[in-house]
Structure 1
């Protein structure tokens, strides 16, 4: 195996700024910033969205009722759909 071709794998702290949550994850991301967490200094990266703040994972996702939308469409254009052409 060739030497010095693989990125350096280490524990990195990711900070979700929207939820103010910190995650320690193994990564090869390059960063010059550092943070001290639990008495240990780690490389530090800020992120906007993570599982702590994304609506899909938090359960705050809006769901649209397709049945209601289809029913409103049929009701609105019922007269046009029943017209025979030809």
Structure 2
């Protein structure tokens, strides 16, 4: 590798709006994010499916396992 052309790769802190904070390595420095895996609805299981036309119910009914 050539010397002097690569950016510094140092430890940085990632801070989320929910208050979570963790350490990682980056060339940018400290980062502030709006949402992380600790508060994101998909990862916490609080995700809501907005369905106005009944598509989800239709899918569940169509592919539901039938009792034997």
Task: Answer yes or no: same fold by TM over 0.5.
Answer: yes
Extract unaligned runs of 5+ from structure 1. 31-43, 71-86
- The 1-side partners of 2:56 and 2:32 are apart by 40
Q: Which has the larger radius of gyration?
A: 1
Extract unaligned runs of 5+ from structure 2. 60-68
Aligned partner of 2:65 in structure 1 is none
Aligned partner of 1:29 in structure 2 is 28
Count of residue pairs brought into register by the alignment: 56
Aligned partner of 1:59 in structure 2 is 45
- The 2-side partners of 1:67 and 1:60 are apart by 17
TM-score by length of 2: 0.66
Tell me how large the CA RMSD over aligned residues is: 2.1
Q: Which ranges of 4 or more aligned residues in structure 1 deviate by more than 6 Å?
A: none
State the 1:45 CA deviation: 1.9
2:35 pairs with 1:49: yes
State the 1:52 CA deviation: 1.1
